[in-house]
Amino acid sequence: MLKEKPTHREVRHPRLSDNKLADYMAASEQARRGILRSCKYQAVTAVIQHADARRIVAESIVNGNVDMAKLGEEIAVYEGKITDTDFEEEVKQHNLDYIRSVVSMAPIAIKGAEFVRCTSQKKIDFNGTEISFFPDVLVARTNKRNNRKIGAVNLRYSKSARLSEQTAAWQSALMFGVLKDEPFEEESSPELALCQTLDGFNGKVYEAPTNSVYMYKEIQAACAGIAQQWNNIMPPNGAILK
């Protein structure tokens, strides 16, 4: 008898990306269960990622604006990318849709004076839950008192719907909290206005809210709850574990 192919792989220890954590914090209780199930039991089949689009958009943020001329050039180059499979072509088209959506929202202003694409993720333990913190752009400026202020930009995109303001607020608050605990520059501190989430669907930029310190503590507390319930999360109906 042929063995059935696995449909999902189990993540044995509590682990979420920063995007999934923001989604979780803004979600209803029912939606939260679905988010955690998808994080613990990950589909084996390939999923469409927007890594190329995020990289291209991040590298186009110059002098506080998304450089639309540069994006236009990058689209032309990316359109010529050769793909070997139907799935690769589908991923390419989705990434092109993402970039074109951002271009259609011009102009988009990003606060800050210095911008560099973030190229490495940080693993953070929040009360037993591992969070992958990976913003797209690191931001900095020097204020009038010659103090260094830092922040980050996280790029979010859905082809069919705008990012909710609640999710964006949690995303930006998370960036503020992490950079407060672990600044990427010595002798610097995060600034609410520099911790920004850009929605590629509608071009809106969401800064960290004034109660971000409180929200960050709520995030850490929620992660303790996630760690406690992780072992009790059941796989999706019909799942065959790897």
| pLDDT tens per residue, range 107-153 | 888 999 999 999 999 999 999 999 999 999 999 999 999 999 999 99
pLDDT of amino acid 2: 58
Going by C-alpha positions, the residue among 73, 94, 97 that lies closest to residue 83 is 94
pLDDT at 229 over 80: yes
Whether 197 and 208 have beta carbons less than 8 Å apart is answered as no
pLDDT in tens, 176-206: 999 999 999 999 999 999 999 999 999 899 9
Whether 154 and 198 have beta carbons less than 8 Å apart is answered as yes
- How many whole angstroms separate alpha carbon 16 and alpha carbon 31? 15
Q: What percent of the chain has a predicted confidence (pLDDT) above 90?
A: 79
Q: What percent of the chain has a predicted confidence (pLDDT) above 70?
A: 99
Find all residues with CB under 8 Å of 204, minimum gap 6, and list them.
Answer: 162, 163, 168, 198
Angle at 7 between CA 31 and CA 239, to 5 degrees: 60
Within the chain, residue ranges assigned H as helices are 18-26, 29-40, 51-59, 68-79, 86-104, 165-181, 212-229
Q: What is the pTM of this model?
A: 0.92
Give the mean pLDDT of 157-172.
Answer: 94
pLDDT in tens, 207-219: 999 999 999 999 9
63 confidence band (pLDDT: 50, 70, 90): confident
- Taking all residues of the chain, what is their mean pLDDT, rounded to a whole number? 93
pLDDT at 1 over 70: no
